Amino acid sequence: MIEWIEILEILAVVMALMGVIICLGVLVNFARQALKQVRPEVKVVKVVKVKEIKKEKPTMSKEASEGITFNDIFMFMIAVPLVLLWVGFAGFVIHTGLNNSAVLENIEAYTTLIAILGGPALLIIKDALDVWKQEQAEKTAFYKVKAQSVIDYNDSMQKQAQMIEAKAQEQEHKIENKK
């Protein structure tokens, strides 16, 4: 049977491999961006029939598509593994503590380690939830503005239809009075 120390070692190796994979992904993306800046892409113009011409999607400006930022790197290299390690280790301690009395003897050390990992992890989770709340508030505000614009549009269309009908009736009365 695998001892709890061996399981912790395996968990550490897996987390290290995840960190290396994330680092390699970030480096590959930086290399791609550097190559794009050094060697801009050449666009090939394709001759097409008039019937086949379609509208092109608008391209984003450089400000809108900023690529990978320091915050992205921080989140994927530090924050995500830290939160996963914290949750994984806490679950492991609970599971092992239920099955092994040796873990219960050293529970103070384990809870201290969970608390040390948990402080930054909870701050990261709180910040992620704050960002989510902000996005939801922006969506709500957008839909309120959109709903109000639909209401205003319907109101103006109704007023315009009433005005057209009133002018048509005035014109009919003028025509009848001339007869």
Q: How do residues 75-86 score in pLDDT, each as one tens digit?
A: 777 778 888 888
Q: What is the CA radius of gyration of the chain?
A: 32
Report field, pTM of the whole predicted structure over 0.95 = no
Phi, psi of 85 (to 5 degrees): -65, -45
In percent, how much of the chain has pLDDT > 90? Answer: 18
Give the mean pLDDT of the chain.
77
Instruction: Give the C-alpha separation, 20 to 159, whole Å.
Output: 65
Q: How do residues 22-57 score in pLDDT, each as one tens digit?
A: 777 777 777 777 777 666 555 555 555 555 445 555
Q: In 3D, which of 120, 135, 51 has the Cα closest to residue 84?
A: 120
